[in-house]
Amino acid sequence: MGIVSMRRRISLSLSLSDSVGWDWKSKVSQRGIVTSCRAVVLPRFGGPEVLEVRPNVEVPDLKPNEVLVRARAVSVNPLDTRMRSGYGRSIFEPLLPLILGRDISGEVAALGASVRSLIVGQEVFGALHPTAIRGTYADYAILSEDELAPKPVAVTHVEASAIPFAALTAWRAIKSTARISEGQRLLVIGGGGAVGFAAIQLSVAAGCHVTTTCGSQSIDRLLAAGAEQAVDYTAEDLELAIKGNFDAVLDTIGVPETERVGINLLKRGGHYMTLQLLSL
């Protein structure tokens, strides 16, 4: 993930600890283990006003492969806001109250018995699985060892917390699904967004030729990231402006119009990938 620079617009980064001092409500057992902490809790589905900051939310014991991370910054992802509004209600309603949040950047506070790649005090960043119930909007979050990576010193915690879930979404699409390889042509529809921007950088690093669509204010940034062509979807006819066909199309917008354009520009046997959420 080191090659992916921060997304341009961090939706909102919460730094629970910075505003009021570290660990202001966390309880630590006699053995030095954190047993409860402050967290942002979702007691029922709704708008942002339903979120509650609660003290003394339980911190479960670590499983052998798990890591306790002291949060320095977490970011708000589209999945978080959708879950808050009721996406996945059939799965999540029986589990309320939930702690939302996928992304985190912070410091390792404790290690499960089998964790070998990290040490206490190390700066890390990472993202939870989409279905994790205890999210990262807490002073202490629990992630598995393989969901974390050392935080590069060149990025701040706030920047690092905006990267993982979006970049991993891009990685899964272009590496795991499309299996892009050097010399291939990739079209990223919506390159100005977090997932699209990460996809451009990952594909350029893999030696692909990348074309993207974006708003006018994003063009310079996406060309600087290595896209060979950036087409303003608000001003140009995409099918006239974009020449040739593509080995893979990542459609981060997923509306009928972008789907039509994306499929029309695909090579025979190529991959069209959309980020439209499934209904749950």
Q: Which residues are within 8 A (CB) of 145 and not within 5 positions of it... i.e. 6 or more apart?
A: 65, 66, 67, 112, 114, 115, 116, 117, 118
Taking CB under 6 A as the rule, which mask of x and - marks residues 167-196 in contact with ligand NAP?
--x-------------------xx-xxxxx
Residue 215 binds ligand NAP, judged by CB under 6 A: yes
Give least dist CB 143 to ligand NAP, A: 16
Taking CB under 6 A as the rule, which mask of x and - marks residues 68-107 in contact with ligand NAP?
---------xxx----------------------------
Touching ligand NAP, residues 239-268 (CB under 6 A): 252-253, 258
How far is Cα 197 from Cα 175, in angstroms, rounded to an integer?
A: 15
Compare residues 41 and 253 and give the one whose CB is closer to ligand NAP.
Answer: 253
| Candidate residues 108, 218, 247, 261; the one interacting with ligand NAP per rule CB under 6 A | 218
Phi, psi (degrees; rounded to nearest 5) at 182: -50, 135
Compare residues 101 and 270 and give the one whose CB is closer to ligand NAP.
Answer: 101
How far is Cα 163 from Cα 177, in angstroms, rounded to an integer?
A: 20
How far is Cα 150 from Cα 163, in angstroms, rounded to an integer?
A: 13
Q: Which residues are within 8 A (CB) of 251 and not within 5 positions of it... i.e. 6 or more apart?
A: 189, 190, 258, 259, 262, 272, 273, 274, 275
Is the distance from CB of 101 to CB of 74 less than 8 angstroms? yes
How far is Cα 200 from Cα 192, in angstroms, rounded to an integer?
A: 10
Size of the site for ligand NAP (CB under 6 A): 22
Give least dist CB 99 to ligand NAP, A: 18
Taking CB under 6 A as the rule, which mask of x and - marks residues 127-166 in contact with ligand NAP?
--------------------------------------xx
- Expressed in angstroms, the distance from the first to the final Cα of the chain is 29
Give least dist CB 105 to ligand NAP, A: 15
Site residues for ligand NAP per CB under 6 A: 77-79, 165-166, 169, 189-190, 192-196, 213-215, 218, 233, 252-253, 258, 275
